[in-house]
Every structure is written in C-alpha cells, then in structure tokens.
Amino acid sequence: MATSFKFKPLTISILLLFLNNVIASSASGSSSTTMHTNNWAILVCTSRFWFNYRHMANTLSLYRTVKRLGIPDERIILMLADDMACNARNKYPAQVFNNENHRLNLYGDNVEVDYRGYEVTVENFLRILTGRHETAVPRSKRLLSDEGSHILLYMTGHGGDEFLKFQDSEELQSHDLADAVKQMKEKRRFKELLIMVDTCQAATLFSQLQSPGVLAIGSSKKGENSYSHHLDSDVGVSVVDRFTFYTLAFFERLNMYDNASLSSLFNSYNPHTLMSTAYYRTDLYQRRLEEVPVTNFFGSAMETIHTDSPYRAFSERYYIKSKTEMPSDQSGWGNRRTLEGSDVLEELIDPKLNAKQVGCPFTHTWNTILGRMEKIAQIDNLVNCGVALMFPIVALSSWLSH
C-alpha cells in the first residue's frame, strides 16, 4: 500500500494540475478536517523485577479498561517488560491484581501480550511508533494506524528528568519520543495522539514534543515523584500507582456510551490524593478538551454520520467515475472516500463536471440543449407545440412560394 501511494500521487497530480489550489488547501488542513477512522492503544510497562509488580499491574489495568471501552485486541499493542504472573515470588501463580481485594484478576484468559520480557526495548518501541519494522514482524505487532487514527500511548515505569528507563538498562529520552512522534506525524500515522505517562517527573518526558494533534498528560511535574497507591500485604508488593489508580477509578464509572470529556478526566486528578501534580499539555492540541469525549482515545467511539441510503451515490454516473480515482489520490482526497456526507461528494463532482465542459465547446452546447430538453417534462406538450408550430410554417412557406 505504501509503495503504491508513493508513485501514484505523481500521475494524479499531473492529471489534476489545474486543481492545484484545491488540493493544496485541503492537504494543509488534512489533520483537522480528516475523519476519525479508528482507535489504537500502545500500552507500555518498561520495568522489570518483582518489586516493580505495580507497573505491570498498571499497564494490564489500562489494557483491560481500553478493551472494555471498545478497542479491539488487534488494535492494542501491549508491551510488558517482565512476567510477574509467573514469577516464583508471586503468591498467586498466573494471576495479577491491582487491588488488595483481589476481586479482579488482570491476567485472565484474553490477554494478548505483543512484546514481552526482553523484547521491550527502546528500539522496538520506536520501531512500533514509526512503523519501520523488519519484514518478518507480524502484523499483530505493528501499529497499523492511518491518518485518521486516534492513538493512546500509555507508558509506566521508572522515569527521571527527560527520560524513561527501559528494563533497567536503557533510556528513552524526551528527544527520542518527540522525534518519533514527529516522524509519525509526517508519515500520517495518526490524527490525534494522547500520551499518558505514569513515572516520576513524567511531565519532563513530553517537554520536547512539537507535532500538532498531540495531547500529553503525566502523573507528576519536574522534581516530583509519583507514588504507589497501596501495598498488598498478601502479595507483598505495591500493586498500583496512584495516578493510574485514580485514572482507573474514573473509568470504572464509565461505559462505552458515556460522554465524559477529557477535561473531566484531567480535572479529576487531585494533587492531594495523587501526592504529585498531574500535568497536562494541550498547546499542540486543537480541539477544546471539554468537547472531546474520553472514549475518543480510551474507547473506539467515533463520530458517525447518518446517510439515508448508502448505495444511492452509485446510481450517479459521475460519482462512479470519481470513486475510481479517489483511492489513488492519496494526498488530499483519499481520506474522503469513507462516510463523508453526500453534499461533500457533490462538491467533489462539480469541479470535474466543469472541467469536462471547458474541455469541449460543442458538447457543452449539446449538453445544455440536452439539459434543457430534459427539463421539459411532458412529451405530449412538446408534440402539441410542434403540431401547432407546423401550421404557421406551412402557411408562411406557401405564401413565400406564391
């Protein structure tokens, strides 16, 4: 797909050279006007070792939440740096809990871990974001997002000033993250991206971001630590972090049809209960947070547009013509192939029609006549008029011949 996109725009752009201005304007504003197509989630736990149990529990809790709110498994990339469930120190083998009441086993039947153990590296993480994989990497391990995707990127682990530690051996720096996001933007791999980070000094991790459409929230400001919420004295470790705990508490009240906005989520964080200041960055984000439902990122809710008959458009001659051209027109137009309103389609058709008229004057007149002919509704009237017209003509011709 990507390769075909690469070549065809050239030919299309020649074909539609006269429409230059139209394309340019639509391309520049693509992200803001592109339709939200699908939702992806990348959930990353970066730390190993038994005493970091809570990071895995954090990630698995988020995994459960986004799945519950409607993101399917094939659109979730789950990275877990260690396997706490099978750790010999785990009192409950093959189970992971995020609460000391042990009501909910997060490591139940339907957990698909895409990257596990030592596969969770900075390199693999950046490859997922930018989509530059080895050819052998299966589709389930890739982020196959497109220009209309909303992506949730959740990361937890041990962080510091402008870095996040991976596996106790490497670091993801804020510059790396910003660079990867910028590449994603240029490759049109997302429409909107929500980065959620639960580490110490989390706010520093997204300080270098520049790409539009990115919204970021972190559990703590620079110089602050993020703390765990509570200790499970049965398992013997802390099982969840405060920021994630209160995020989950917010989502537990929601179902996938709720309309709670992002701002209500962001305002739900109380610095006293969090013991750190949740910091969010909105300067790269165009929409107002009050108008964006959380399910835009944490679920799969999309704006649907009602159309009366989905197949009506195909009855029109010109629509078919334009339809065949659209998929190849990657740059400004391809995105409109789906579910746009019919009025938009007509907008789209009209310039094409005009183009053909300008191209041939004869057909233009003929078409006009035809058009007018079509406007005359009743054929009987036409015949009557014709008969009535015959008499004056006959009379005139006979008078002239005398």
Partner 1 sequence: MAEVAAVVKPKPRPIIRIGLFLISYSFLVSIICCVAGVLALLLLPVLAKNTYISENALMPGSASPMLSSADASDGHMFLNKIMSQNSISINTGIEIPEMIGKHIIESGGEVNYHQFQPISDNFHPLQFFLGPDVGIVQENYSCTSYGINTVGIVRAPRGDGKEAIVIVTPYNSVKTTTSEALSLGVAYSVFSLLSRVSWLAKDIIWLAADSRHGEHAAVAAWLRDYYALSRADLEKSLDMCGPSSVLGLELTSVKTNGESNGFRRAGTMAAALVIKVADSSTGFEKDGLKIYAEASNGQMPNLDLINIVNYLAVHGQGLQVRVEKIWSLLDSWWLYSLGELQELLGKVAKSLNPGWKFGIPASDYVEGCATLANSLYNQALGVPTGPHGAFRDFQVDSITLEFSPRFSSSQRVLFLLHVGRLVEGVIRSVNNLLEKFHQSFFLYLLTSPSRFVSVGIYMIAFALLIAPLPLVAAALFSDASKSKSGKDEASLEPSQPGESIPTFTTWNWIRTAKTVLMVHLWGAIVTIIPYFLCRFPNSSPIASLLMWIASSLVWLFFICAASGSLSFSRASQLQIREWTLLKAVTVTAAFIGLCLMSVINYATAQIGALLLVPMCLMAVPLRIDLTAKTTKALLRGACNILLGFVGFPPTAFIMLKGALDSSDRIRLDDFWNWTESLRAWNSATYIYICMVHLPCWVLCIRILLHRR
List the one residue from 235, 254, 278, 292 that touches partner 1 (CB under 8 A). Answer: 235
- Selected binder of partner 1 within 41, 129, 237, 254 (CB under 8 A): 237
120 vs 254, beta carbon nearer partner 1: 120
Q: Does 118 bind partner 1 (CB under 8 A)?
A: no
CA-nearest of 357, 258, 342, 257 to 306 is 342
Q: At closest approach, how far in Å is the CB of 250 from partner 1?
A: 27
* Stretch binding partner 1 (CB under 8 A), from 84-92, 129-137, 276-284, 300-308: 84-92
The C-alpha atoms of residue 65 and residue 71 are separated, in whole angstroms, by 9
Backbone angles phi, psi at 154, to 5 degrees: -110, 130
Which of 234, 252, 291, 350 contacts partner 1 by CB under 8 A?
Answer: 234
The whole-angstrom separation of Cα 359 and Cα 306 is 36
Q: What's the CA gap between 149 and 190, in Å, rounded?
A: 5
Among 93, 310, 371, 392, binds partner 1 (CB under 8 A): 93
The least CB distance from residue 87 to partner 1, in Å, is: 7
Alpha helices in 16-134 (DSSP H): 20-28, 30-33, 53-68, 122-130
Radius of gyration of the chain (CA): 30
Burial class (CB in 10 A: 0-12, 13-18, 19+), 402: exposed
From 203-211, 232-240, 263-271, 331-339, give the range in contact with partner 1 by CB under 8 A. Answer: 232-240
**Residue tagged active-site, from 36, 102, 133, 158:** 158
Total of chain residues touching partner 1, rule CB under 8 A: 18
CA dist., res. 40 & res. 21, Å (int)? 33
Does position 160 interact with partner 1 (CB under 8 A)? The reply is no
Whether 200 is catalytic is yes
Q: Nearest to residue 153, comparing CAs of 76, 80, 220? A: 76
With binding defined as CB under 8 A, does residue 9 bind partner 1? Answer: no
| CB of residue 90 to partner 1, shortest distance in Å | 7
**Catalytic site includes residue 158:** yes
Among 15, 27, 86, 249, which residue sits at the site for partner 1 (rule: CB under 8 A)? Answer: 86
By CB under 8 A, is residue 169 in contact with partner 1? no
DSSP state of 166: E
User: Of 3, 33, 7, nearest to 333 (Cα)?
Assistant: 33
52 touches 21 (CB < 8 A): no
Q: Identify the bridge partners of residue 156 per DSSP, sorted by sequence position.
A: 45, 198
Give the total residue count for the chain.
Answer: 402
Name the minimum Å distance from CB 226 to partner 1: 15
- Restricted to residues 202-231, the positions that interact with partner 1 (CB under 8 A) are 231
- Written as six digits, the tokens of 41 are 């989630």
Among 6, 89, 116, 364, binds partner 1 (CB under 8 A): 89
In this complex, which beta carbon is closest to partner 1, that of residue 91 or of residue 337?
Answer: 91
Listed ranges 59-67, 86-94, 217-225, 334-342: which one lies at the site for partner 1 (CB under 8 A): 86-94
| Contact residues for 144 (Cβ-Cβ < 8 A; gap 6+) | none
Neighbours of 159 (CB within 10 A): 29
Which region among 36-44, 85-93, 325-333, 375-383 touches partner 1 (by CB under 8 A)? 85-93
The minimum distance between CB 282 and partner 1, in angstroms, equals: 35
Catalytic residue, chosen from 45, 55, 150, 200, is: 200
Helix (H, G, I), strand (E, B) or coil at 247: helix
Shortest distance (Å) from residue 84 CB to partner 1: 12
291-293-298 Cα angle (round to 5): 150
Cβ closest to partner 1, residue 5 vs residue 50: 50
The minimum distance between CB 51 and partner 1, in angstroms, equals 5
Listed in sequence order, the residues at least 6 apart from 91 whose beta carbon sits closer than 8 Å to its beta carbon are 234, 235, 236
Contacts 24+ apart (CB under 8 A), 285-292: 285/192, 285/212, 285/213, 285/214, 285/215, 286/32, 286/212, 286/213, 287/192, 288/263, 289/215, 289/261, 289/262, 289/263, 290/261, 290/263, 291/261, 292/261, 292/262, 292/263
- Smallest separation (angstroms) from partner 1 to the CB of 100: 11
User: Cβ closer to partner 1: 51 or 314?
Assistant: 51
Q: Does 257 bind partner 1 (CB under 8 A)?
A: no
- Which residues 12-71 are close enough to bind partner 1 by CB under 8 A? 49-51
Q: Which residues bind partner 1 (CB under 8 A)?
A: 49-51, 86-93, 231, 233-238
Q: Mind telling me the catalytic residues?
A: 158, 200
